[in-house]
Structure 1
């Protein structure tokens, strides 16, 4: 089933009906002009009392319980989606599972840029979800065929992508979609050739369904499978989005592996193949924050630097740097050394500002002992304490409770090892 998106700003009710008629009453009623108008008319709400009043008002106005449930769910998801889609969220439709796996628009734009710079003109987005990456690709003028196996999600992707004339949404399994037809179509029309077709895959990493899904821990359970995804990457320029904790031992040797961090959280691992991968780079740490976009890359894992004594400052490398195993390169750039072997903390006597690590000024060092630390926190009047740990088997939240904190001051406590010695470092962020 293929759906051509129009430039009118909303899909026709005819093609939405093809998806919705066999689905729940909520989806059927939502994907109608009156349902969408009702959704857009909802006031903001922030409490359970607000929701109760809105529900009562909608039901007294004659709206069905199915439609009321559908619009309230969408209003909640739109609010949650603002972190990923900014102002675009208020004009999109979501499922809970689709939003969970959707690429942040800022990151999707970088994905799209790779295909554009490589000269790709037509991208098959296999497993498009709610359409985030397809949206970014279409925005750069690429022709996109967005393929989605789940019927409800495909319907919502059709709505989200309706403003783009250069997108076709297809309800099908990625494994069953005929990629050869895209090459034939391109060759017959002139502007594309098989070599200018790219593949993007975001395999489903949660159990099937639209809400209350569970994360899949075994790569062999992904849909489509990694074997299928990596097989396509042998024939086409391709990008494969995976979770940041993906087993590094399964990364193909010919892939460029890029871990992406947004505002301090590692959000994905992107594997890039063929002309959308950069020559000579197999490891990359990409950091996106409020100051811009920053990258470290290398032809392979970097060697760690030696461990040394605790300096005036401690640095926690960004998660993308840790997962890309570029800590050694970062240490050499900063003029720092490891605090302890195989523990991802760096230290130096000089304060260095870098987007690739968070810095802490060391105020004091104590034995990692609850009684000692309770007394020291009480003496300093520390009532708010951030607890961080590496290299010790401690639950930071439970440890914080044991300290019985009270007082007007705040600080950071870093629980770690220096050599074989367990230690607690009192620090402040810089």
Structure 2
């Protein structure tokens, strides 16, 4: 998750420097005492609207900083359930940055299984954050050295390993990752920080640590993986790496650069939770599909497929072409089920026009309208307000371009 100090206290509130619990580490340690754990259990289901009343009541019996820390931790656990599952999140500990930047459990498990398949039995997890990847690796039977330089982050990672019964497989070390000797490990995993004080960092050399350092560390290891932003320019991918883009539930989550896998330089799209994987070596990637008229079916490739530049491979599988040379929609006259794209049956093709769309939807009694756009400046919510869909039926409208012309395609998902 990168080497960035978490500026947020566990409580999420300003603290009194004279209070021993005003120190973030002390406040976190207090949460792990019997009294702190009991308080965490008591506030587990407190919702944001109930926090003020709960805090007022609990401060009659507990120190105010501890109550604030417990309520903030409960809030973080509620947020983390989407990434880690309710069962694990209820037992784990988090920081605000940790919830935001940690790897989703399903993605971490996929990567851990990939390392296991490669024969990795020990791994140095550099920039471990709160330990999300270390947990998945340990559950795959891999011994992990988890390294981060932030004291609070290390304390949280250590607590998570203990809370989930994985402490024997996870050693947490507070250190600068650039100074750690990883030669004794089968593999290295690096997750540089891609956020700063002003938000996301788009320059890979501004990562912490920089991508160039991470690549050098990967090349020194027998096997390695680097987690990077999915929007990384393809020209920034090292020639020695196999690049994998991963989506979960249709949302692109991250990209990974793999080293030492004995695979040729390649691009891969992996779709979770099913695990379907589409790949091509760089020297065998297909040219862009031809542009053709809209057929009976429209295919919307998964975001990981688009990021990996594998749309042409999907087009070949469905015997289709592009609706526009700059738009990643594939069209075909035949239905070819594929895990790499969602298929829609197209019923209407109209030049862009709100009045035309409104009249067609009224005629079709469409009350549930899904608006998708690619290559259009129209905002879905604005369009939905203007057409005011009413009726018992549903439809999907694609605001896009067909052979360069602004176009509306109306249809519905197949299957």
Give the alignment's TM-score, normalised by structure 1.
0.85
Structure 1 portions without partners, runs of 5+: 1-19, 184-195
Report the secondary structure of 2:394's partner residue.
strand
In structure 1, what is the Cα distance between the partners aligned to 2:345 and 2:65? 56
| Cα shift at 1:73 | 1.6
Quote the residue 1:154 is aligned against: 154
| Cα shift at 1:28 | 4.1
Instruction: Give yes or no for the alignment of 1:322 onto 2:306.
Output: yes
| Cα shift at 1:31 | 3.3
Are 1:26 and 1:69, in contact at CA under 8 Å, matched by a contact in 2?
no
In structure 2, what is the Cα distance between the partners aligned to 1:350 and 1:340? 19
2:192 pairs, out of 203, 206, 221, with: 203
Quote the residue 2:80 is aligned against: 81
Are 2:84 and 2:105, in contact at CA under 8 Å, matched by a contact in 1?
yes
Are 1:282 and 1:299, in contact at CA under 8 Å, matched by a contact in 2?
yes
Are 2:239 and 2:265, in contact at CA under 8 Å, matched by a contact in 1?
no
Q: Please give the residue correspondences for 1:3-402 in structure 2 after superposition, counting only pairs within 5 Å.
A: 23=24, 26-46=27-47, 48=49, 50-60=50-60, 62-86=61-85, 87-162=87-162, 163-164=165-166, 165-180=168-183, 183=184, 196-207=185-196, 214-236=199-221, 237-274=223-260, 277-280=261-264, 282-289=266-273, 292-300=274-282, 301-402=285-386
Are 2:365 and 2:392, in contact at CA under 8 Å, matched by a contact in 1?
yes
Q: Tell me how many residue pairs correspond in the alignment.
A: 387
In structure 2, what is the Cα distance between the partners aligned to 1:156 and 1:269? 25
In structure 1, what is the Cα distance between the partners aligned to 2:158 and 2:77? 17
Are 1:304 and 1:329, in contact at CA under 8 Å, matched by a contact in 2?
no
Are 1:359 and 1:429, in contact at CA under 8 Å, matched by a contact in 2?
yes
**CA-to-aligned-CA distance 1:281-334 (integer Å, 9 cap, x gap):** 511000013xx2111011024322212121111110000111111111111112
Quote the residue 2:3 is aligned against: none
Are 2:78 and 2:89, in contact at CA under 8 Å, matched by a contact in 1?
yes
**CA-to-aligned-CA distance 1:365-413 (integer Å, 9 cap, x gap):** 2110122222222333333321111122332233333323334433211
Are 1:281 and 1:297, in contact at CA under 8 Å, matched by a contact in 2?
no
In structure 1, what is the Cα distance between the partners aligned to 2:70 and 2:211? 36
Report the secondary structure of 2:195's partner residue.
coil
**CA-to-aligned-CA distance 1:239-264 (integer Å, 9 cap, x gap):** 00112112221100110100001000
**CA-to-aligned-CA distance 1:83-139 (integer Å, 9 cap, x gap):** 221221111011121112211222212222233233333211000011011111112
Report the secondary structure of 2:286's partner residue.
coil
Report the secondary structure of 2:368's partner residue.
strand
| Cα shift at 1:159 | 0.3
Are 1:146 and 1:170, in contact at CA under 8 Å, matched by a contact in 2?
yes
Are 2:22 and 2:65, in contact at CA under 8 Å, matched by a contact in 1?
no
Structure 2 portions without partners, runs of 5+: 1-20
In structure 1, what is the Cα distance between the partners aligned to 2:77 and 2:339? 30
| Cα shift at 1:222 | 1.0
In structure 2, what is the Cα distance between the partners aligned to 1:234 and 1:273? 7
Are 1:314 and 1:346, in contact at CA under 8 Å, matched by a contact in 2?
yes
Moved more, 374-383 or 21-30: 21-30
In structure 1, what is the Cα distance between the partners aligned to 2:191 and 2:118? 20
| Cα shift at 1:46 | 4.3
Report the secondary structure of 1:378's partner residue.
helix
Are 1:366 and 1:425, in contact at CA under 8 Å, matched by a contact in 2?
yes
Are 2:396 and 2:411, in contact at CA under 8 Å, matched by a contact in 1?
yes
| Cα shift at 1:345 | 0.5
